[in-house]
Amino acid sequence: MNYNIALIHGDGIGPEIVDEAKKILDKVCEVYGHSFTYKNVLLGGASIDAHGVPLTGEAIEDAKSSDAVLMGSIGGDAKTSPWYQLDPSKRPEAGLLAIRKALNLFANLRPAYLYDELKAACPLKEDRIGDGFDMIIVRELTGGLYFGERKTFEENGVKTAVDTLSYNENEIRRIAVKAFEIAGKRRKKVTSVDKANVLDSSRLWRNIVEEVARDYPDITLEHMLVDNCAMQLVHNPGQFDVILTENMFGDILSDEASMVTGSIGMLSSASLNETSFGLYEPSHGSAPDIAGKGIANPIATILSAAMLLRFSLNLDKEADAVEAAVEKVLSEGYRTVDIMSEGCEKVGTSKMGDLIAERIR
């Protein structure tokens, strides 16, 4: 089949890592008989340099007309880059928020997976790691506290600030459906995280998630309070399959989960809307400190491309093949500098891409 993929190379190490992910997608085409048509789209600093703004209407249209978007990362060094002399609404990050909004990307997926070979990087003790862990956090991305009404005011000489946490049943239902659909492709367990002992928004969250669960009788649903979940992630991370949660809880828990894997250069992410369309990007930033040196780890972006195959193109077999190729390269002892350990062979960005591509079957 032919698919249209928008590529956002971005800034810093973005172009280097996206080139490697494209190499992998091209190999998937060759092995599985697909064809991908790519369109380069500018976002962030690269767009500021070319057009004076971090995102143009044309870029949004190009992204919308594709089946999926694969992105590197955007942004520069805030101390030295001229992009940060601009008004905040014109800086690289504003473009990222704007494209997420324009594409209605309400579901953020962040897997946290511990590779056997990288166990040494995990900050948890052996007995906590057990047989490892493989979870995915499904976070609501366009509602809740970050999008509610807010104000700061002074009353009788006392400064006060208010942020509003609001969810309606439709917002909860659509993210819950995503989580159950994803669990159906995995180990069939959803842990819905809330603060239902205190918050009304969480009580509604819990009710709607239970309603959705009735449509998925083969999936186990459990509820967990967010404070307990924060503890369980470091106490027994192996218990989780899909964690479903609202925007702010997800923001905090997904960073916690990624820290327990210990290697930022390995973590992929996806942001999806109601259709199968999605924007896929590594969880790390544009690493300006190592840009252009050919040493960045491309694996997070390559695994993001695997998520693109799985969630937007419904090519599970192909996604499995990419993930297996990454595992194989790690098990053979090849490492980029950020995950290097004794006895392994150090390779650069492009070589790592070649090694993974060669192992796609």
Q: How many Cα atoms are found within 13 Å in the side-chain-facing hemisphere of 158? A: 3
Determine whether 77 is an active site residue: no
Nearest CA-CA partner of 94 in 145, 147, 44: 44
DSSP letter for 68, please: E
Rounded CA gap, 260 and 283, in Å? 14
**Rounded (10°) CA dihedral 319, 140, 88, 71:** 10
Q: Does 297 bind ligand NAD (CB under 6 A)?
A: yes
In the complex, least distance from residue 222 CB atom to ligand NAD, rounded to whole angstroms = 31
Residues 178-237 that bind ligand NAD (CB under 6 A): none
User: Does the protein bind ligand NAD through residue 284 (CB under 6 A)?
Assistant: yes
Q: Which CB atom, from 44 or from 237, has the smaller least distance to ligand NAD?
A: 44
Residues paired with residue 115 on neighbouring β-strands, in sequence order = none
Stretch that binds ligand NAD, among 28-36, 109-117, 254-262, 279-287 (CB under 6 A): 279-287
DSSP category for residue 358:
H
**Chosen residue from 117, 171, 241, 281 binding ligand NAD by CB under 6 A:** 281
Q: Which of 29, 86, 230, 290 binds ligand NAD (CB under 6 A)?
A: 290
What is d(CA 345, CA 341) in angstroms, rounded to the nearest whole number?
9
255 has catalytic annotation: yes
Distance in Å, CB of 286 to ligand NAD, minimum: 4
The one catalytic residue in 255, 293, 316, 317 is 255
87 is annotated as an active-site residue: no
**Tokens matching residue 6:** 């928008």
Start-end of H helices in the chain = 14-32, 45-51, 57-64, 92-102, 126-129, 169-184, 200-213, 226-235, 247-261, 299-307, 316-331, 349-358
Q: Give the separation between CA 108 and CA 76, rounded to whole angstroms.
A: 23
If the CB atoms of residues 72 and 144 are measured against ligand NAD, the closer one turns out to be: 72
**73 binds ligand NAD per the rule CB under 6 A:** yes
> From residue 233 to residue 272, what is the string marking binding to ligand NAD with x (rule CB under 6 A)?
-------------------------------xx-------
What are the backbone angles phi and psi of residue 116, rounded to the nearest 5°?
Answer: -50, -45
Closest distance of CB 345 from ligand NAD, Å: 17
Is residue 37 within 8 A of residue 313, CB to CB? The reply is no
Can residue 74 be called a binding residue for ligand NAD (CB under 6 A)? yes
Closest to ligand NAD by CB, 229 vs 299, is 299
- Of the pair 73, 254, the CB lying nearest ligand NAD is at 73
- Each residue 130-169 as x (binds ligand NAD by CB under 6 A) or -, in order, gives ----------------------------------------
Catalytic site includes residue 338: no
CA 33, 297, 235, 226 torsion: positive or negative? Answer: negative
Which residue, 111 or 288, is less far from ligand NAD as judged by CB? 288
Binding to ligand NAD by residue 278, rule CB under 6 A?
A: no
Q: Please, which residue, 246 or 281, has the CB nearer to ligand NAD?
A: 281
Q: Are 242 and 179 in contact (CB under 8 A)?
A: yes
Please confirm, yes or no, whether 227 is among the known catalytic residues: yes
Distances (CA, A) of 186 to 189, 234, 262, 319: 8, 22, 23, 13
Q: Which three-class secondary structure state does DSSP give residue 59?
A: helix
Residue 273, token pair as written in the block? 């809307």
Indicate which residue of 195, 328, 338, 351 is catalytic: 195
285 binds ligand NAD (CB under 6 A): yes
Task: Determine which residue in the list 287, 305, 307, 329 makes contact with ligand NAD, applying CB under 6 A.
Answer: 287
Interhelix angle 299-307/14-32, nearest 10 degrees:
50
- Candidate ranges 24-32, 60-68, 73-81, 227-235; the one touching ligand NAD (CB under 6 A): 73-81
Type of residue found at 283: S
* Contact set with ligand NAD (CB under 6 A): 13, 73-76, 93, 96, 264-265, 281, 284-290, 296-297, 300, 338
Active site residues: 146, 195, 227, 251, 255
